[in-house]
């Protein structure tokens, strides 16, 4: 990865006006931040998780976080341009819906590996640079022919832990880190997500931290687990110094091998392994979409905002009957 890439082509591009207009999609619009704390939800939602190496999707039972379809996975196309990734997404979603035809208004959430502002992806550290400033919400919703709620992939993992896992009912400040190809972060403060924290890119020895201590960096640097843990401790100490978390949750690919290094990690905060590893992005994206739909449905009419628009979009799509058919695999 080119570390500078996260700058989204530098500050000028990142610091775009915050009020990027939300284009209405046929049947959907771009919700922004979730306003409510995690609450129990019921029903099914589809979660999609787009990573640097795989695009995964499954239907999730929001009451239990269980997957109620197969977890379908395809390799992320290379180069991972938005257009190519959208085609792969359409394939995995069609496969899930072929196994289990969806209800008309099933919420759909999609985790993407970059900062998300007003439905647009703003950074692209581990995927094609074409994602920078990409109107992900509009384009993905159009391609899947349904409204889609878009969220940063690590924030999605954080939502999964907040709703069902190691951050559930936990007061204080919690940091979740997904350590894999890159390092993603989710910051939870008093049971609410503070989105788009991007702690994987804080400077460590004058480099973006994920280029030194992600799972991919460990392999690239040919570090054993003990040596990697020493560097990772340095990274954790920095996070602790700045944020004083009460709990740190470790997720992502690296946490699958936690028995190899757990004993070497030292933190002041309580350090716990994420409850959901492979499936956190899917579960969290599905939950976030369910929560966005719930927020929109329960909001007062005069509180119209982007999230309310999303719900209106879901209703429209349902009415139009579009939502009963799976996305077509190819569009001419």
Please state, in angstroms and rounded to a whole number, the distance separating the CA atoms of residues 311 and 319: 12
| Residue 200 is a binding residue for ligand BGC (CB under 6 A) | yes
Cα–Cα separations (whole angstroms), residue 58 to 154, 229, 258: 17, 33, 26
Q: Are 287 and 59 in contact (CB under 8 A)?
A: no
Terminal CA-CA length for the chain: 33
**CA 19 distance to own-chain centroid:** 21
178 counts as binding ligand BGC under rule CB under 6 A:
yes
Give the span between the Cα atoms of 125 and 71, in whole angstroms.
25
Q: Which is nearer to ligand BGC, 49 or 135 (CB)?
A: 49
Q: Which of 184, 195, 251, 326 binds ligand BGC (CB under 6 A)?
A: 184
- CB crowding 80-96: b at 16 or more within 10 Å, else e: bbbeebbbbbbbbbbbb
Shortest gap between Cβ of 196 and ligand BGC (angstroms)? 8
Q: What minimum distance in Å lies between the beta carbon of 152 and ligand BGC? A: 5
- CB nearer ligand BGC, residue 117 or residue 294: 117
- When binding is defined by CB under 6 A, the residue of 137, 152, 211, 280 that contacts ligand BGC is 152
**Site track 78-117 with ligand BGC (rule: CB under 6 A), x = hit:** -----------------------------------xxx--
Annotate 140-157 with DSSP letters as a single string: HHHHHTS--EEEEHHHHH
Please answer whether residues 10 and 297 qualify as being in contact, where contact means their C-beta atoms are separated by less than 8 angstroms: no
Distance CA 2, CA 253 (A): 21
Candidates 32-40, 82-90, 121-129, 216-224 — which segment interacts with ligand BGC by CB under 6 A?
121-129
Q: Which of 49, 128, 161, 210 binds ligand BGC (CB under 6 A)?
A: 210
Write down the least CB distance from residue 289 to ligand BGC, Å. 18
Of 83-91, 119-127, 129-137, 295-303, the window that binds ligand BGC (rule: CB under 6 A) is 119-127
The nearer residue to ligand BGC, 198 or 295, going by C-beta atoms, is: 198
Q: How far is the CB of 90 from ligand BGC (least distance, A)?
A: 21
Q: At what angle do helices 153-164 and 280-298 cross, to 10 degrees?
A: 80
Which residues are at the interface with ligand BGC (CB under 6 A)?
6, 113-115, 123, 125-126, 152-154, 178, 182, 184, 198, 200, 210
């Amino acid at each position: 990865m080119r570390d500078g890439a996260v700058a989204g082509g530098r500050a000028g591009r990142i610091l775009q006006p915050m009020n990027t207009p939300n284009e209405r999609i046929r049947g959907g619009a771009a919700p922004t931040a979730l306003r409510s704390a995690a609450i129990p939800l019921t029903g099914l939602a589809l979660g999609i998780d787009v990573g640097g190496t795989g695009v995964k999707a499954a239907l999730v039972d929001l009451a239990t976080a269980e997957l109620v379809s197969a977890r379908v996975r395809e390799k992320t196309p290379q180069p991972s341009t938005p257009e190519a990734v959208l085609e792969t997404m359409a394939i995995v979603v069609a496969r899930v819906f072929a196994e289990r035809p969806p209800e008309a208004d099933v919420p759909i959430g999609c985790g993407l590996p970059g900062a998300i502002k007003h439905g647009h992806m703003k950074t692209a550290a581990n995927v094609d640079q074409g994602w920078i400033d990409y109107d992900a919400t509009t384009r993905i919703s159009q391609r899947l022919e349904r409204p889609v709620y878009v969220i940063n992939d690590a924030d999605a993992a954080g939502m999964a832990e907040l709703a069902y896992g190691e951050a559930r009912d936990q007061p204080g400040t919690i940091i979740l880190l997904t350590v894999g190809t890159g390092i993603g972060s989710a910051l939870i403060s008093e049971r609410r997500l503070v989105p788009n924290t991007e702690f994987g890119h804080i400077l460590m020895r004058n480099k973006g931290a994920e280029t030194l201590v992600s799972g991919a960096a460990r392999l690239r640097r040919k570090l054993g687990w003990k040596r990697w843990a020493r560097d990772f401790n340095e990274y954790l100490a920095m996070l602790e110094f700045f944020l004083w978390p009460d709990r740190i949750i470790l997720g992502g690919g690296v946490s699958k091998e936690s028995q190899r290094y757990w004993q070497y990690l030292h933190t002041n905060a309580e350090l716990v392994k994420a409850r959901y590893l492979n499936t956190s992005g899917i579960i969290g994206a599905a939950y976030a979409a369910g929560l966005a739909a719930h927020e929109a449905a329960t909001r007062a009419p005069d509180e119209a905002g982007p999230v309310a628009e999303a719900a209106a979009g879901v209703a429209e799509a349902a009415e139009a009957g579009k939502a009963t058919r799976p996305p077509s695999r190819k569009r001419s």
